[in-house]
């Protein structure tokens, strides 16, 4: 037992003294800019995926509220306008269009313009 403990202690000391080396060179501006761009890109994509998830959830919420013909559902009381191609639970795929028009503030406070068009092949909560 003492031999294993001693060996582990020696190995830990060896690793701790050789594993870390101080890098005396400063980080160049290109690396900083690249890291900043990567962070901004992640935030933008997370925001867009959150918007798409919200619209998909709206579609799930209105599936049972459509007319017998499975008409189109449009939520226009907010910006963006969210349009679901059919509210019939039997009609698939469905197209969800998130329309920001010429520019408006979306669900998460970001200002956008244009459309996000999503095709959903089946319900996500089966």
Query: Which string of DSSP letters, residue by residue, matches 4-67?
Result: HHHHHHHHHHHHHHHH-----SPPPHHHHHHHHHHHHHHHHHHHHHHHHHHHHHHHHHHGGGS-
Cα separation, 57 vs 55, whole angstroms: 5
Confidence band, pLDDT 50/70/90 cuts, at residue 79 = confident
What pLDDT score does 117 carry?
Answer: 93
**Measured between alpha carbons, how far is residue 59 from residues 3, 73, 77, 112 in Å?**
65, 9, 15, 21
Q: Does 17 map to a domain? A: no
Query: What digits encode the pLDDT tens for the residues 2-47?
Result: 676 667 767 676 666 665 566 677 888 888 899 999 998 998 888 8
Q: Is the overall model pTM greater than 0.85, yes or no?
A: no
Q: Does 74 map to a domain? A: yes
Q: Does 106 map to a domain? A: yes
What is the enclosing helix (H) or strand (E) of 3? helix 2-19
How many domains are contained in the chain? 1
Q: Over 70: is that where the pLDDT of 122 sits?
A: yes
Tell which wins on pLDDT, 116 or 125.
116
124: containing domain: 49-126
3-state SS assignment for residue 95:
strand
Q: Does 13 map to a domain? A: no
Q: Does 23 map to a domain? A: no
Q: Does 22 map to a domain? A: no
Query: What digits encode the pLDDT tens for the residues 88-118?
Result: 778 888 888 888 888 887 666 778 899 989 9
- Eight-class DSSP state of 73: E
Q: Does 110 map to a domain? A: yes
Cα separation, 54 vs 28, whole angstroms: 40
Tell which wins on pLDDT, 114 or 60.
114
What pLDDT score does 68 carry?
Answer: 38
Q: Does 21 map to a domain? A: no
Question: How many alpha carbons lie under 13 Å from residue 45 in its C-beta half-sphere?
Answer: 6
């Amino acid at each position: 037992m003492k031999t294993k403990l001693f060996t582990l202690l020696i190995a830990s000391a060896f690793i701790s003294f050789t594993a870390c080396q101080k890098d005396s060179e400063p980080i160049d501006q290109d690396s900083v800019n690249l890291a900043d761009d990567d962070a901004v890109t992640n935030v933008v994509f997370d925001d867009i995926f959150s918007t798409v998830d919200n619209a998909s959830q709206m579609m799930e919420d209105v599936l049972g509220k459509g007319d017998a013909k499975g008409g189109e559902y449009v939520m226009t009381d907010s910006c963006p306008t969210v349009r679901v191609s059919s509210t019939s639970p039997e009609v698939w795929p469905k197209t969800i269009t998130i329309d920001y028009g010429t520019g408006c503030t979306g669900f998460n406070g970001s200002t956008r313009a244009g459309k996000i068009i999503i095709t959903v092949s089946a319900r996500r909560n089966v």
